[in-house]
Amino acid sequence: MKQTIIIAGMLLLVTLNAKAQDYVPFPTGNVNWNVFYAGTCEEAPPDSILIRYAIHGDTVINDIQYLKLCIEEGDTLNPIIRGIGGLRENDKKIYYLGETIFSLYCEEEFLLYDFTKQIGDTIKHDPEGLFFSVILDIDSVLIGDGYRKRYSIDNHWFYHNPDYIIEGIGSVVNGLLGHISDIPTCGTHYWEHVCFRENGIVKYLNPAFDECFPSHLLSGVKPPAYEPTIQLYPNPFKNEIVIVNQHNCSDLFFKLIDINGKTVITSSIKGNKVSVPVNISTGIYNAVLIDGSGKILITQKMVKE
């Protein structure tokens, strides 16, 4: 019996190791990398946004075929799409040519990630070696139903050290392009990976965030311009949300947004007290209340039991 258990344990270990060794290539479409950015220059007020990277088809730059990297802005269902550069993979190396976080277009190709390196190796991200990383450790992490290699690196430059790079995802600390982006000398600037989503499924969520698409960070969605006398309850809720409106607004528009940024409930709100039925799955949601002019009056995180 003891021998059987030992053999079974060895087989399990071999299976896990085999899974960890299966290389996961970089995605080629239907993916999102979301990055939180906050910063200010000189006397300007602080600004914070959600940078939403996505791949939309192919592009050719300097006669080389790339996946077209874009930034999505505005509504998550019908976003405005702006191309910023190209990604390509060759021999487990991921190359990037295009804009970095501050819209600075680089004429030379970056070696964004190199999944062939071993512990102690140095990755030179640009030809001059101004951006470089040193591999500190390599282990495996469970993503979905499979294991992927995770690299702990020292990038010698940016806010979060060590950074962590995962096969098929990229940086889950500094964000997709964070480690190759110059920091402006004015003011303060900060960025951090929020989540990676593939085929509509959140594959990796930064534990510092509760959701993939924080509604108050979505590009084009402004924070409340004023503080209204409005209540949304109960929280957690079950089958309905009660909205009490004591503010001087006659007609309001209510949205409930899930962690993937999808609007699951929309309702026109008229009157001082309205009950909105919500037949949705359990989870965390963002409730948003908007007035007739499009101003966001309140955003509130709510939990469906």
Each residue's pLDDT tens digit, 64-102? 999 999 999 887 778 899 999 999 999 999 999 999 887
Q: Which residue has the higher pLDDT, 2 or 27?
A: 27
Q: Which residue has the higher pLDDT, 243 or 102?
A: 243
- Return the beta strands (E) in the chain as ranges: 31-40, 47-61, 64-73, 80-90, 93-98, 110-114, 122-124, 132-143, 146-154, 163-166, 170-171, 188-198, 201-205, 230-233, 240-245, 251-257, 263-270, 273-277, 283-291, 296-304
Q: Which residue has the higher pLDDT, 182 or 199?
A: 199
Residue 17 has pLDDT above 50, yes or no: no
Residues 217, 195, 176, 183: what is their CA dihedral angle, to the nearest 10 degrees? 40
Q: How many CA atoms lie within 13 A of 122 on its CB side?
A: 7
Tell me, what's the pLDDT at 179? 87
**Tokens describing residue 182:** 């110059």
Q: Which residue has the higher pLDDT, 19 or 189?
A: 189
Is the model's pTM score more than 0.95?
no
Q: Which residue has the higher pLDDT, 95 or 20?
A: 95
Tell me, what's the pLDDT at 40? 67
- The angle at the Cα of 171, spanning 142 to 56, to the nearest 5 degrees, equals 100
Structural domains of the chain, ranges and CATH numbers in brackets: 22-215 (no CATH), 230-304 (2.60.40.10)
Q: Which of 60-69, 71-80, 250-259, 272-281 has the highest mean pLDDT?
A: 60-69
